[in-house]
Structure 1
Amino acid sequence: MIDAATLFDAARARLVDAPRERIGELQEGRRLLGIRRAPRIVPRGTAWHLGVLLVTDDEVLATGDIVRARAEVRRGFAAESQRRRAELAAAAARGGVPEGETVHIGWHAVDPTRLEAASRPLAVREGEPLVRWSVAGGWMPLARYLDERVELLRHPPERA
């Protein structure tokens, strides 16, 4: 069986010319003269977005939230979740993400050489690396998942 680290190295080699997306980290605003500054999303690099995984040059990350940057505007919201998404979008803009671009936040690192219960969404069962593509979904062989996702990223469907 091929181990997960080898599969990710092979995927990186196939992704060299594929588009990347920004990854960032939410920083709560510091106090300046007793006044709290607004939070912002600071850049932490770029990664290839492969479904539930983000693959950088040297790391594998499990996705968190995806935010599209936009300027802060005052508006009413029907739900608190909408307000939170708008706050994150404004934080991305304050952090320097160009308007309309996406940034991934809330991700966590996964060590493909040591897969265990805390390695979600990756696992090893009977020696085969697997990925769980959704919380309610089943396990899928990582090799097949990476093949499909790399192909989709390199050759997206028309008008996608």
Structure 2
Amino acid sequence: MDEVASPASQLLAEARAALAGAPREGLGEERVSRWRGRRIVRIGDAWHLGVLLLTDTHALATAEVLRAADPGRRGYTAESARERAERRAEALRGGFAEGEVAHVGWTVIDVDAVDAGGTSGPLALVDGVPSVHWSTAGGWMPLAAYLRERIELLNPGR
């Protein structure tokens, strides 16, 4: 992956090819119905690469990541812990298997806008180099290097 000459769209296409056969995680969407209540249903899957999620056709910015689980009967000292347990239960009710990862609240990245010199989600063209803002405290990192590192973590030995 050439960091200078390759547009973001090409780097992401190369990443998809390198990830063939690597494990994917579920993409969830919140649903509410009168009869079934609140739940998080599976609408697809993606490779999780840090701040990015890659599907066969799109790049997405990650948001909430949770594991489907039964909340059981626990006493919670913090309201946030109770809310998190309820979110995990919503994924379970929506069809995710116990312990399965669900990504919720993700947004689609406009890769064409990045290729044209703009910014979308955590991606931008910085000094002519497709780059990723990999954390709120971190700076910009060349997308090619970021993808290489993340693919190696997800797919060791390739």
For normalisation by structure 1, the TM-score amounts to 0.88
Q: Mapping of 1:70-149 within 5 angstroms?
A: 70-115=69-114, 116-117=118-119, 119-149=120-150
Please say which of residues 89-98 and 120-129 is displaced more in the overlay.
120-129
1:125: Cα distance to partner? 1.4
Among 13, 19, 22, the alignment partner of 1:15 is 19
**AA matched with 1:11:** A
For normalisation by structure 2, the TM-score amounts to 0.89
Aligned residues between the structures: 150
Please say which of residues 10-19 and 79-88 is displaced more in the overlay.
79-88
1:81: Cα distance to partner? 1.5
**AA matched with 2:151:** V
**Aligned-residue identity in percent:** 53
**AA matched with 1:72:** P
Rounded Cα–Cα distance in structure 1 between residues aligned with 2:13 and 2:77: 45
Question: Gaps spanning 5+ residues in structure 1: where?
Answer: none
1:63: Cα distance to partner? 0.4
For the aligned residues, what is the CA RMSD?
A: 1.4
Q: Secondary structure at 1:135's aligned position in 2?
A: coil
Rounded Cα–Cα distance in structure 2 between residues aligned with 1:139 and 1:72: 38
Question: Gaps spanning 5+ residues in structure 2: where?
Answer: none
**AA matched with 1:8:** L
Q: Secondary structure at 1:58's aligned position in 2?
A: coil
